[in-house]
Amino acid sequence: MKKVISTTNAPGAIGPYSQAIVANGMIFISGQVPIDPATGKVVEGDITAQTEQVMKNLEAILKAAGSSFSQVVKSTCLLSDMANFAAMNAVYGSRFAENPPARAAFAVKTLPLNVFVEIEMIALKA
């Protein structure tokens, strides 16, 4: 059985997908871009500012699903330019000081809304 997770503390889905799905004790979080849920707009600033917003959105969804960053087992980071990897990694890494999850990071041609970063996660339900 699956359960749809939705919170107003993260941007609503802009297509035919859910913010997250819980199934068999796992949380599958859709890719998050740096949209401020209060304004519905992409945050202004560089990769650091955008990654901070993405991590806030992910944290809100994890919380709504009854979990936290400590329960994340896998993430995928999509970047518009690998030159932004170090700055993204610094923000991302601040949430995983111990026992970080498995991860893949890719540069892609274009991301939705022409943002610099999108991150998806899989976590355990705490």
Domain ranges for the chain? 2-124
More confident residue, 14 or 106: 106
Show the tokens assigned to 11. Answer: 């941007």
Q: What is the pLDDT of residues 81-105, one digit of tens each?
A: 999 999 999 999 999 989 999 999 9
Please report the pLDDT score of residue 1 as a whole number: 86
Q: What fold is seen in the domain 2-124?
A: 60s Ribosomal Protein L30; Chain: A; (3.30.1330)
Q: What is the pLDDT of residues 54-81, one digit of tens each?
A: 999 999 999 999 999 999 999 999 999 9
**Among 101, 103, 105, residue whose Cα is nearest residue 82:** 105
More confident residue, 14 or 34: 34
| Average of per-residue pLDDT across 20-43 | 97
Distance (Å) of CA 37 to CA 34, 93, 118: 9, 23, 15
Burial of 76 (0-12, 13-18, 19+ CB in 10 A): middle
Confidence class for position 14, pLDDT limits 50, 70, 90: confident
Q: Which helix (H) or strand (E) holds 123?
A: strand 117-124
- What residues have CB less than 8 Å from 39, skipping those under 6 apart? none
Q: Which helix (H) or strand (E) holds 59?
A: helix 47-64
- What residues have CB less than 8 Å from 17, skipping those under 6 apart? 30
The rounded percent of the chain whose pLDDT value lies above 90 is 95
Distance CA 67, CA 46 (A): 28
Distance CA 21, CA 2 (A): 6
